[in-house]
Structure 1
Amino acid sequence: MAIETDIRYEEEFITNSRGMKLFASRWLPQNEAPKALVFFCHGYAMECSITMNSTARRLAKAGFAVFGLDYEGHGKSQGLQGLVNNFDDVINDCSHYFTTICEKEENKKRTRYLLGESMGGAVALLLHRKKPEYWDGAILVAPMCKIADEMRPNAVMIGVLSALSKMAPKWKIVPTQDIIDLAFKVPEVREQIRANKYCYKGKPRLKTAFELLRVSTEIEQSLSEVSLPFLVLHGEEDKVTDKSVSNELYEVASSSDKTIKLYPGMWHGLLYGEPSENLNIVFSDIIKWLEEKSQYGNTRIEREQKEQNEDIVRDSK
């Protein structure tokens, strides 16, 4: 059995390319070098330092360094709460911050993984698309590859949303069911999220709804382009994101190293919305996958080292 390690928690604000301050947090093993780097991509309306704290601490206690970034309009970052004006900005912000950490001298020879939950699963897949060779793997937890049919507006409403989102992007009028009630099985967790002032709880803003629909449709149509090693996890009773598309991702992705786990009776919130016995199962699977991947030789690191050595030889001639 793995020995738990002490954790050091740190936080900071960074400035993105648009001059906005974004809140970043990290959980680091205290007395040992991390086994690998894990970059957390949080879900819609969520944030890192409170909502993902238990997740990050589990991984840090298992020896992994965990990093999170509150997207623009989310958590403690600047921006109108709940507004995703352009999903491409979210991807660029995450890519810049995450790669800055990866490129630090002490991290260059460490493996790097994305952990995306719900909308964060879409973020992780789009980060992979932006830099296909950069990431060593991804854990996709109930990923938003498609919005579940129960949550998806009909074709007429989609047309109306598209037109209105251009005229009044900040309006909070999109009709949806209460996602908190649909996503999280444990009532105490629902109350914690409702009490968390950094979690957005209003109706989806018009532009946000349009952007989520746009990127989930894009991802659904390009699942075969996914090529990195991945573990996809989905609750059988998920009513927020569509588990059939997680199955399709597993079937059609071009990755040679891919695993899927479906959990009977579990809902959407697999990382913190289930009873403790279910969370233990999910995290056991996640940590086992991370440990197996980070223990073995890494082809990306070997390739980069080879290229670096070739550059040195070339420069010396």
Structure 2
Amino acid sequence: MSQHRESWLRREKTFAAFAMGPLAAFWQQREECELAGVDGIPLRFVRFRSARHDRVILVSPGRIESYVKYAELAYDLFHCGFDVLIIDHRGQGRSGRMLSDTHRGHVVHFSDYVDDLERLWQREIAEGPWRKRYALAHSMGGAITTLFLQRNPQAFDAVALCAPMFGIIIRLPDWMVRHLLDWAEGHQRVREDYAIGTGRWRPLPFPLNVLTHSRVRYRRNLRFYADEPGLRVGGPTWHWVREGILAGEQVLAGAAEVTTPMLLIQAEDDRVVDNRMHDRFCELRAEAGHPCEGEKPLMINGAWHEILFEKDAMRAGALNAIVDFFDNHNQ
């Protein structure tokens, strides 16, 4: 294992020095770019490139996230020999919003996310100089990327998904959720309002979070939103929840169409997405003759939803599996 990869196991102990030193210097090398998405919504993305690299990874973040949050991941992938591109999905990060209340997590059609990703892939990846092309996606980004692969199964040489949003944990009976969402859909003021129990972004104290056990990474991520108010996104709208549920159903319905080599990583104690849908997705792919790596999800024991922002040991376990998987699809 390289010295860089060995450092993943002890980074939290000196995280402040790392963030203010090597990581800050790396971040200055970024290229921030923009393209027009569906309906002209501006999409921001960032790239890190080196003439020495002949492989690229397109990173698709989760709901409310920005590429600003993914600097550490980009740093690690870049130093493993990959160019890196990270998109800010519509309605979040530095990309354009659809509603006047910019804190509302909203999308008109979930397929808009997929169309946006396809535009970025066509412009930046398809005709690029790389010998190998990979994708890495988290949560909502995992659903977007998987739906993209249903359209374009040959777009990437291999894909890794971390806690993909194939099903959302909602602590209400399914029949009740469907009834509420269908009712909200018929009332525009409601359908574009915050879903029940959610609201504008607010900083949540570390002991109350259910996303990561890493105090230093959680606090760093909070600071991004505190320092740059334009990044803030709160709860989803009723319509977004409906679109998200339908997207998960579409993923499972088309699982057999996804032939791209795939590693699916699962957080054992995820409280955001439904791990049972990961298991079902892998079963469907196996039945179709193109199983996921290992034929089932790779579980990160004890991890919460944000695997790539977890404590060193859990994060390193996932990241080593991802890099090894891509290296195994390098021929």
Please give the range of the TM-score, normalised by the shorter of the 2 chains: 0.7 to 0.9
Work out the percentage of aligned pairs sharing the same amino acid: 21
Output the CA distance in 2 between the equivalents of 1:222 and 1:103.
Answer: 23
Q: How far apart are 1:188 and its partner, in Å? A: 3.9
- Contact (CA 8 Å) 1:174, 1:204: kept in 2 or not? no
Structure with greater contact order relative to length (CA < 8 Å, sep ≥ 6): 2
- Contact (CA 8 Å) 1:139, 1:231: kept in 2 or not? yes
- Partner of residue 146, structure 2: 125
Q: 2:302 is paired with a residue of what secondary structure?
A: coil
- Partner of residue 66, structure 1: 84
Paired residue for 2:111, among 50, 63, 88?
A: 88
Q: How many residues align?
A: 288
Q: 1:183 is paired with a residue of what secondary structure?
A: coil
- Partner of residue 312, structure 2: 276
- Partner of residue 155, structure 2: 134
Q: How far apart are 1:198 and its partner, in Å? A: 4.9
Paired residue for 2:218, among 177, 190, 201?
A: 190
Q: How far apart are 1:199 and its partner, in Å? A: 4.7
Output the CA distance in 2 between the equivalents of 1:116 and 1:71.
Answer: 12
Q: How far apart are 1:149 and its partner, in Å? A: 5.0
Change (3 A) 1:149 1:157: closer
Paired residue for 2:325, among 289, 295, 309?
A: 289
Paired residue for 2:278, among 246, 258, 276?
A: 246
Output the CA distance in 2 between the equivalents of 1:113 and 1:92.
Answer: 18
Paired residue for 2:246, among 214, 231, 242?
A: 214
- Partner of residue 308, structure 1: none
Residue type matched to 1:115 in 2? L
- Contact (CA 8 Å) 1:3, 1:62: kept in 2 or not? no
Paired residue for 1:47, among 63, 66, 81?
A: 66
Structural RMSD (CA) = 2.6
Q: How far apart are 1:239 and its partner, in Å? A: 1.3
Output the CA distance in 2 between the equivalents of 1:269 and 1:145.
Answer: 15
- Contact (CA 8 Å) 2:139, 2:273: kept in 1 or not? yes
Output the CA distance in 1 between the equivalents of 2:133 and 2:39.
Answer: 26
Output the CA distance in 2 between the equivalents of 1:247 and 1:275.
Answer: 24
Q: 1:135 is paired with a residue of what secondary structure?
A: coil
Paired residue for 1:204, among 212, 233, 236?
A: 236
Q: How far apart are 1:53 and its partner, in Å? A: 1.2
Q: 1:271 is paired with a residue of what secondary structure?
A: helix
Q: How far apart are 1:16 and its partner, in Å? A: 2.3
Change (3 A) 1:201 1:190: farther
Q: 1:192 is paired with a residue of what secondary structure?
A: helix
- Partner of residue 19, structure 1: 40
- Contact (CA 8 Å) 2:92, 2:233: kept in 1 or not? no
Deviations 1:199-245 (A, max 9, x none): 54422212211111111122233333322100010111111112222
Output the CA distance in 1 between the equivalents of 2:220 and 2:107.
Answer: 24
Q: How far apart are 1:250 and its partner, in Å? A: 2.1
Output the CA distance in 1 between the equivalents of 2:266 and 2:211.
Answer: 12
- Partner of residue 264, structure 2: 232
Unpaired runs of 5+ residues, structure 1, are: 297-317
Deviations 1:242-263 (A, max 9, x none): 2222222222213256233111
Paired residue for 1:33, among 53, 72, 76?
A: 53
Residue type matched to 2:322 in 1? I
- Partner of residue 258, structure 1: 293
Output the CA distance in 2 between the equivalents of 1:2 and 1:190.
Answer: 27
- Runs of 4+ in structure 1 over 3 Å off: 1-8, 187-195, 197-201
Q: How far apart are 1:32 and its partner, in Å? A: 1.0
The alignment status of 1:175 with 2:194, answered yes or no, reads no
Deviates more, 1:191-200 or 1:135-144: 191-200
